[in-house]
Amino acid sequence: MYEMEAADIQEFKQRLLELRSCLNVDGIKEQIAEIEHEMTASGFWDEPERAQKVMQELKAFKAVVSAPDDLHRELADAEVLIQMAQEEEDASLGGEIAALHEKLSKEIHQLELNSLFTDPRDTKPVLLSIHPGAGGTESCDWASILYRMILRFCEIKEFQVEVLDYLPGEEAGVKSVTIRVAGPYAYGLLKSEAGVHRLVRISPFDANKRRHTSFTAIEVISEIDEDISIEIREEDLKMDVFRSSGAGGQKVNKTSSAVRLTHLPTGFVVSCQIERSQHRNRATALNMLKAKLYDQEVRKKEAELASQRDGQQDVAWGSQIRSYVLQPYQMIKDHRTGAETSNVDRVLDGELDMFIEAYLKWSLEQRSKSAPARAGAK
Protein backbone atom coordinates (compact mmCIF):
# COMPACT_ATOMS: atom_id res chain seq x y z
CA MET A 1 0.00 0.00 0.00
CA TYR A 2 2.82 2.38 0.87
CA GLU A 3 5.47 1.17 -1.61
CA MET A 4 4.62 3.95 -4.06
CA GLU A 5 4.77 6.62 -1.36
CA ALA A 6 8.12 5.32 -0.07
CA ALA A 7 9.57 5.31 -3.59
CA ASP A 8 8.30 8.83 -4.16
CA ILE A 9 9.96 10.02 -0.95
CA GLN A 10 13.27 8.64 -2.20
CA GLU A 11 12.72 10.45 -5.51
CA PHE A 12 11.96 13.68 -3.63
CA LYS A 13 15.18 13.32 -1.64
CA GLN A 14 17.20 12.87 -4.83
CA ARG A 15 15.54 15.90 -6.45
CA LEU A 16 16.23 17.97 -3.34
CA LEU A 17 19.87 16.92 -3.38
CA GLU A 18 20.21 18.08 -6.98
CA LEU A 19 18.36 21.31 -6.25
CA ARG A 20 20.60 22.49 -3.42
CA SER A 21 23.36 23.44 -5.84
CA CYS A 22 20.96 25.23 -8.20
CA LEU A 23 19.00 27.43 -5.80
CA ASN A 24 20.00 31.08 -5.77
CA VAL A 25 20.32 31.17 -1.98
CA ASP A 26 23.19 33.67 -2.08
CA GLY A 27 21.00 36.26 -3.78
CA ILE A 28 18.33 35.90 -1.10
CA LYS A 29 20.94 36.16 1.65
CA GLU A 30 22.09 39.47 0.14
CA GLN A 31 18.50 40.74 0.36
CA ILE A 32 18.32 39.63 3.99
CA ALA A 33 21.56 41.47 4.77
CA GLU A 34 20.25 44.66 3.11
CA ILE A 35 17.02 44.55 5.12
CA GLU A 36 18.81 43.86 8.39
CA HIS A 37 21.13 46.79 7.67
CA GLU A 38 18.11 49.01 7.00
CA MET A 39 16.63 47.99 10.35
CA THR A 40 19.70 49.27 12.20
CA ALA A 41 19.26 52.80 10.80
CA SER A 42 18.17 55.48 13.22
CA GLY A 43 14.49 56.31 12.95
CA PHE A 44 13.56 52.95 11.43
CA TRP A 45 10.95 52.26 14.10
CA ASP A 46 9.53 55.78 13.92
CA GLU A 47 7.17 54.57 11.17
CA PRO A 48 5.55 51.45 12.69
CA GLU A 49 3.45 50.59 9.63
CA ARG A 50 6.42 50.63 7.27
CA ALA A 51 8.64 48.83 9.81
CA GLN A 52 6.04 46.06 10.07
CA LYS A 53 6.07 45.59 6.30
CA VAL A 54 9.86 45.35 6.30
CA MET A 55 9.73 42.77 9.10
CA GLN A 56 7.24 40.69 7.12
CA GLU A 57 9.48 40.93 4.07
CA LEU A 58 12.48 39.76 6.12
CA LYS A 59 10.48 36.83 7.49
CA ALA A 60 9.50 35.75 3.96
CA PHE A 61 13.10 35.89 2.71
CA LYS A 62 14.36 33.85 5.66
CA ALA A 63 11.67 31.26 4.98
CA VAL A 64 12.96 30.88 1.41
CA VAL A 65 16.54 30.34 2.61
CA SER A 66 15.47 27.76 5.19
CA ALA A 67 13.08 25.94 2.80
CA PRO A 68 15.58 23.24 1.62
CA ASP A 69 16.48 22.32 5.21
CA ASP A 70 12.83 22.34 6.30
CA LEU A 71 11.88 20.11 3.38
CA HIS A 72 14.71 17.70 4.18
CA ARG A 73 13.34 17.31 7.74
CA GLU A 74 9.80 16.82 6.42
CA LEU A 75 11.01 14.07 4.08
CA ALA A 76 12.72 12.31 6.98
CA ASP A 77 9.51 12.54 9.05
CA ALA A 78 7.51 11.15 6.11
CA GLU A 79 9.84 8.16 5.87
CA VAL A 80 9.31 7.42 9.56
CA LEU A 81 5.53 7.70 9.20
CA ILE A 82 5.46 5.33 6.22
CA GLN A 83 7.70 2.84 8.02
CA MET A 84 5.40 2.91 11.07
CA ALA A 85 2.35 2.31 8.89
CA GLN A 86 4.04 -0.63 7.17
CA GLU A 87 5.23 -2.26 10.39
CA GLU A 88 1.93 -1.84 12.20
CA GLU A 89 -0.19 -2.41 9.07
CA ASP A 90 -2.19 0.62 10.10
CA ALA A 91 -4.49 1.56 7.22
CA SER A 92 -5.82 4.55 9.18
CA LEU A 93 -2.59 6.43 8.39
CA GLY A 94 -3.28 6.19 4.66
CA GLY A 95 -5.11 9.53 4.47
CA GLU A 96 -2.44 11.34 6.47
CA ILE A 97 0.32 9.90 4.28
CA ALA A 98 -1.52 10.85 1.08
CA ALA A 99 -2.00 14.44 2.27
CA LEU A 100 1.66 14.64 3.32
CA HIS A 101 2.73 13.27 -0.07
CA GLU A 102 0.74 15.96 -1.87
CA LYS A 103 2.20 18.68 0.37
CA LEU A 104 5.78 17.51 -0.20
CA SER A 105 5.18 17.26 -3.94
CA LYS A 106 4.07 20.91 -4.07
CA GLU A 107 7.02 22.06 -1.95
CA ILE A 108 9.63 20.27 -4.05
CA HIS A 109 7.99 21.67 -7.20
CA GLN A 110 8.22 25.19 -5.76
CA LEU A 111 11.92 24.70 -5.02
CA GLU A 112 12.47 23.48 -8.58
CA LEU A 113 10.75 26.61 -9.82
CA ASN A 114 13.01 28.74 -7.61
CA SER A 115 16.04 27.07 -9.14
CA LEU A 116 15.13 28.65 -12.49
CA PHE A 117 15.92 32.10 -11.07
CA THR A 118 19.47 32.41 -12.39
CA ASP A 119 19.52 36.19 -12.99
CA PRO A 120 21.08 38.07 -10.03
CA ARG A 121 18.22 40.58 -10.36
CA ASP A 122 15.59 37.89 -9.75
CA THR A 123 15.68 38.38 -5.98
CA LYS A 124 15.27 42.17 -6.19
CA PRO A 125 12.13 44.24 -5.60
CA VAL A 126 10.18 45.29 -8.69
CA LEU A 127 9.05 48.59 -10.16
CA LEU A 128 6.03 47.65 -12.27
CA SER A 129 4.16 50.15 -14.47
CA ILE A 130 0.97 49.69 -16.48
CA HIS A 131 0.17 51.92 -19.46
CA PRO A 132 -2.94 51.53 -21.65
CA GLY A 133 -2.54 51.84 -25.40
CA ALA A 134 -4.70 53.76 -27.84
CA GLY A 135 -8.39 53.20 -27.38
CA GLY A 136 -9.53 55.60 -24.69
CA THR A 137 -11.87 54.25 -22.03
CA GLU A 138 -11.72 50.68 -23.36
CA SER A 139 -7.92 50.50 -22.97
CA CYS A 140 -8.00 52.24 -19.60
CA ASP A 141 -10.48 49.65 -18.36
CA TRP A 142 -8.25 46.83 -19.67
CA ALA A 143 -5.33 48.41 -17.81
CA SER A 144 -7.35 48.39 -14.57
CA ILE A 145 -8.17 44.69 -15.08
CA LEU A 146 -4.48 43.88 -15.48
CA TYR A 147 -3.69 46.05 -12.45
CA ARG A 148 -6.13 44.01 -10.37
CA MET A 149 -4.64 40.78 -11.76
CA ILE A 150 -1.15 41.82 -10.65
CA LEU A 151 -2.39 42.92 -7.21
CA ARG A 152 -4.20 39.61 -6.71
CA PHE A 153 -1.05 37.71 -7.70
CA CYS A 154 0.97 39.72 -5.17
CA GLU A 155 -1.67 39.05 -2.52
CA ILE A 156 -1.49 35.30 -3.19
CA LYS A 157 2.32 35.38 -2.91
CA GLU A 158 2.08 37.61 0.20
CA PHE A 159 4.24 40.27 -1.46
CA GLN A 160 4.44 43.82 -0.14
CA VAL A 161 2.95 46.34 -2.60
CA GLU A 162 3.39 50.11 -2.51
CA VAL A 163 1.63 52.40 -5.00
CA LEU A 164 4.13 54.98 -6.23
CA ASP A 165 2.03 56.68 -8.89
CA TYR A 166 -1.62 56.42 -9.89
CA LEU A 167 -3.50 58.31 -12.59
CA PRO A 168 -7.17 57.32 -12.98
CA GLY A 169 -8.94 57.24 -16.31
CA GLU A 170 -11.36 60.02 -17.18
CA GLU A 171 -14.40 57.70 -17.36
CA ALA A 172 -13.14 54.35 -16.07
CA GLY A 173 -9.99 52.39 -15.39
CA VAL A 174 -6.50 53.86 -15.11
CA LYS A 175 -4.32 55.95 -17.42
CA SER A 176 -1.15 54.80 -15.70
CA VAL A 177 -0.03 53.21 -12.46
CA THR A 178 3.36 52.33 -10.98
CA ILE A 179 3.83 50.05 -7.99
CA ARG A 180 6.80 48.73 -6.03
CA VAL A 181 6.62 45.03 -5.22
CA ALA A 182 8.90 43.40 -2.65
CA GLY A 183 9.13 39.75 -1.67
CA PRO A 184 11.06 36.54 -2.41
CA TYR A 185 11.97 36.42 -6.12
CA ALA A 186 9.66 39.35 -6.87
CA TYR A 187 11.46 40.35 -10.09
CA GLY A 188 12.04 36.73 -11.08
CA LEU A 189 8.32 36.00 -10.90
CA LEU A 190 6.95 39.21 -12.38
CA LYS A 191 9.40 39.72 -15.26
CA SER A 192 7.28 37.31 -17.33
CA GLU A 193 4.55 39.99 -17.46
CA ALA A 194 6.69 42.62 -19.23
CA GLY A 195 5.31 43.46 -22.65
CA VAL A 196 2.03 44.19 -24.40
CA HIS A 197 -1.12 42.34 -23.32
CA ARG A 198 -3.95 42.06 -25.86
CA LEU A 199 -7.63 41.79 -24.93
CA VAL A 200 -10.49 40.71 -27.22
CA ARG A 201 -14.00 41.07 -25.79
CA ILE A 202 -17.43 42.59 -26.32
CA SER A 203 -16.96 46.07 -24.95
CA PRO A 204 -19.14 47.03 -21.96
CA PHE A 205 -18.77 50.64 -23.19
CA ASP A 206 -20.21 49.94 -26.65
CA ALA A 207 -23.98 50.30 -26.83
CA ASN A 208 -24.00 48.15 -29.99
CA LYS A 209 -22.20 45.29 -28.17
CA ARG A 210 -19.45 45.04 -30.74
CA ARG A 211 -16.23 43.15 -30.19
CA HIS A 212 -13.19 45.31 -29.40
CA THR A 213 -9.45 44.68 -29.23
CA SER A 214 -7.46 46.58 -26.62
CA PHE A 215 -3.76 46.75 -25.81
CA THR A 216 -2.00 47.59 -22.54
CA ALA A 217 1.73 47.55 -21.84
CA ILE A 218 3.29 46.35 -18.61
CA GLU A 219 6.84 47.46 -17.81
CA VAL A 220 8.80 45.46 -15.23
CA ILE A 221 12.21 46.56 -14.00
CA SER A 222 14.21 45.58 -10.93
CA GLU A 223 15.45 47.97 -8.32
CA ILE A 224 19.20 48.47 -8.43
CA ASP A 225 21.76 48.09 -5.67
CA GLU A 226 22.99 51.26 -4.04
CA ASP A 227 26.57 50.37 -5.00
CA ILE A 228 25.69 50.53 -8.71
CA SER A 229 26.61 53.98 -9.97
CA ILE A 230 24.21 55.61 -12.44
CA GLU A 231 25.16 59.19 -13.25
CA ILE A 232 22.29 61.60 -13.85
CA ARG A 233 23.16 65.24 -14.42
CA GLU A 234 20.83 67.85 -13.00
CA GLU A 235 20.81 69.73 -16.31
CA ASP A 236 19.40 66.58 -17.94
CA LEU A 237 16.36 66.60 -15.66
CA LYS A 238 13.07 68.44 -15.95
CA MET A 239 10.95 68.39 -12.79
CA ASP A 240 7.22 69.11 -12.58
CA VAL A 241 5.16 69.14 -9.38
CA PHE A 242 1.42 68.46 -9.12
CA ARG A 243 -1.24 67.29 -6.73
CA SER A 244 -1.73 63.60 -6.01
CA SER A 245 -4.49 61.95 -8.03
CA GLY A 246 -5.04 58.67 -6.24
CA ALA A 247 -8.28 56.78 -5.84
CA GLY A 248 -9.33 58.96 -2.90
CA GLY A 249 -9.40 58.66 0.87
CA GLN A 250 -7.61 60.39 3.69
CA LYS A 251 -4.13 59.54 2.45
CA VAL A 252 -4.44 61.46 -0.82
CA ASN A 253 -2.23 64.51 -0.62
CA LYS A 254 -4.00 67.80 -1.28
CA THR A 255 -0.78 69.79 -1.77
CA SER A 256 1.45 69.92 -4.84
CA SER A 257 4.03 67.48 -3.51
CA ALA A 258 3.78 64.85 -6.26
CA VAL A 259 6.81 64.87 -8.55
CA ARG A 260 7.31 64.06 -12.22
CA LEU A 261 10.86 63.78 -13.57
CA THR A 262 11.70 63.80 -17.28
CA HIS A 263 15.15 62.60 -18.35
CA LEU A 264 15.77 64.76 -21.41
CA PRO A 265 18.45 62.61 -23.16
CA THR A 266 16.27 59.46 -23.15
CA GLY A 267 12.77 60.87 -22.78
CA PHE A 268 12.12 58.62 -19.79
CA VAL A 269 9.38 59.96 -17.50
CA VAL A 270 8.82 58.83 -13.91
CA SER A 271 6.34 60.04 -11.31
CA CYS A 272 5.90 59.55 -7.58
CA GLN A 273 3.11 60.78 -5.32
CA ILE A 274 3.17 58.31 -2.45
CA GLU A 275 4.85 60.60 0.09
CA ARG A 276 3.55 63.85 1.55
CA SER A 277 7.02 65.35 1.16
CA GLN A 278 8.05 66.70 -2.24
CA HIS A 279 11.68 65.96 -1.36
CA ARG A 280 10.94 62.29 -0.64
CA ASN A 281 8.85 61.94 -3.77
CA ARG A 282 11.72 63.37 -5.82
CA ALA A 283 14.19 60.96 -4.22
CA THR A 284 11.93 57.99 -4.98
CA ALA A 285 11.36 59.18 -8.55
CA LEU A 286 15.11 59.58 -9.02
CA ASN A 287 15.66 55.97 -7.89
CA MET A 288 12.98 54.85 -10.35
CA LEU A 289 14.76 56.73 -13.13
CA LYS A 290 18.09 55.14 -12.22
CA ALA A 291 16.46 51.71 -12.37
CA LYS A 292 15.09 52.51 -15.84
CA LEU A 293 18.50 53.63 -17.10
CA TYR A 294 20.21 50.57 -15.64
CA ASP A 295 17.56 48.30 -17.16
CA GLN A 296 18.14 49.97 -20.54
CA GLU A 297 21.86 49.20 -20.39
CA VAL A 298 21.24 45.58 -19.36
CA ARG A 299 18.81 45.11 -22.24
CA LYS A 300 21.31 46.58 -24.69
CA LYS A 301 23.94 44.06 -23.60
CA GLU A 302 21.44 41.19 -23.76
CA ALA A 303 20.40 42.26 -27.27
CA GLU A 304 24.02 42.34 -28.40
CA LEU A 305 24.55 38.79 -27.14
CA ALA A 306 21.25 37.57 -28.58
CA SER A 307 22.06 39.03 -32.01
CA GLN A 308 24.91 36.55 -32.29
CA ARG A 309 22.41 33.72 -32.67
CA ASP A 310 21.36 32.74 -36.19
CA GLY A 311 17.77 33.65 -36.95
CA GLN A 312 17.39 35.66 -33.77
CA GLN A 313 13.89 37.10 -33.48
CA ASP A 314 13.61 40.67 -32.30
CA VAL A 315 11.65 40.67 -29.04
CA ALA A 316 11.28 44.35 -28.18
CA TRP A 317 9.62 45.80 -25.09
CA GLY A 318 6.51 46.63 -27.10
CA SER A 319 6.06 43.15 -28.58
CA GLN A 320 2.72 41.47 -27.97
CA ILE A 321 3.38 38.70 -25.46
CA ARG A 322 -0.05 37.39 -24.49
CA SER A 323 -3.63 37.43 -25.77
CA TYR A 324 -6.75 37.28 -23.61
CA VAL A 325 -9.83 36.32 -25.63
CA LEU A 326 -13.13 36.60 -23.73
CA GLN A 327 -15.53 36.49 -26.72
CA PRO A 328 -16.57 34.60 -28.83
CA TYR A 329 -14.67 31.90 -26.90
CA GLN A 330 -12.45 32.04 -23.82
CA MET A 331 -8.73 31.51 -24.13
CA ILE A 332 -5.51 33.04 -22.81
CA LYS A 333 -2.36 32.24 -24.77
CA ASP A 334 1.25 33.31 -24.26
CA HIS A 335 2.80 33.85 -27.70
CA ARG A 336 6.37 33.28 -26.48
CA THR A 337 5.94 29.95 -24.76
CA GLY A 338 2.73 28.57 -26.28
CA ALA A 339 1.22 28.11 -22.82
CA GLU A 340 -2.55 28.53 -22.90
CA THR A 341 -5.67 27.97 -20.81
CA SER A 342 -9.41 28.40 -21.16
CA ASN A 343 -9.82 29.23 -17.47
CA VAL A 344 -9.60 32.99 -17.94
CA ASP A 345 -11.30 33.87 -14.65
CA ARG A 346 -8.60 32.19 -12.56
CA VAL A 347 -5.81 33.90 -14.49
CA LEU A 348 -7.42 37.33 -14.24
CA ASP A 349 -7.82 36.63 -10.52
CA GLY A 350 -4.04 36.41 -10.17
CA GLU A 351 -3.24 32.74 -10.77
CA LEU A 352 -0.29 33.28 -13.11
CA ASP A 353 1.93 30.38 -12.07
CA MET A 354 1.48 28.33 -15.24
CA PHE A 355 2.51 31.26 -17.45
CA ILE A 356 5.40 32.23 -15.17
CA GLU A 357 6.80 28.70 -15.03
CA ALA A 358 6.52 28.30 -18.80
CA TYR A 359 8.26 31.64 -19.32
CA LEU A 360 11.14 30.79 -16.96
CA LYS A 361 11.77 27.50 -18.75
CA TRP A 362 11.50 29.18 -22.15
CA SER A 363 13.85 31.96 -21.10
CA LEU A 364 16.39 29.43 -19.83
CA GLU A 365 16.23 27.63 -23.18
CA GLN A 366 16.79 30.89 -25.04
CA ARG A 367 19.88 31.63 -22.94
CA SER A 368 21.25 28.13 -23.43
CA LYS A 369 20.89 28.54 -27.21
CA SER A 370 22.99 31.69 -27.07
CA ALA A 371 25.76 30.03 -25.02
CA PRO A 372 27.69 28.60 -28.03
CA ALA A 373 27.59 31.97 -29.79
CA ARG A 374 28.95 33.72 -26.71
CA ALA A 375 31.68 31.12 -26.35
CA GLY A 376 32.65 31.48 -29.98
CA ALA A 377 32.77 35.25 -29.67
CA LYS A 378 35.47 35.18 -27.01
d(CA 314, CA 300): 12
pLDDT of residue 280: 87
122 CB-contact burial (10 Å; exposed 0-12 / middle 13-18 / buried 19+): buried
d(CA 108, CA 104): 6
Rg (CA), the chain: 24
pTM: 0.72
Q: Are strands 195-202 and 320-325 parallel, antiparallel or unpaired?
A: parallel
Whether the CB-CB separation of 58 and 35 falls below 8 Å is answered with yes
Query: Which amino acid makes up residue 170?
Result: E
Residue, of 20 and 162, whose pLDDT is higher: 162
pLDDT of residue 377: 45
Q: pLDDT-derived band of residue 315, with 50, 70 and 90 as boundaries?
A: very low
Whether the CB-CB separation of 337 and 354 falls below 8 Å is answered with no
Residue, of 333 and 300, whose pLDDT is higher: 333
* CATH 1.20.58.410 domain extents, the chain: 3-114
Q: How far is CA 353 from CA 8, 220, 245, 306, in A?
A: 24, 17, 32, 26
Q: Summarize the confidence of residues 77-88 as an average pLDDT.
A: 80
CATH of domain 120-307+317-372: 3.30.70.1660
CATH classification of 3-114 is 3.40.50.360, yes or no?
Answer: no
- Which ranges of the chain does DSSP label H, i.e. alpha helix? 3-20, 25-39, 48-88, 94-114, 137-156, 186-190, 278-306, 344-348, 353-377
* CATH 3.30.70.1660 domain extents, the chain: 120-307+317-372
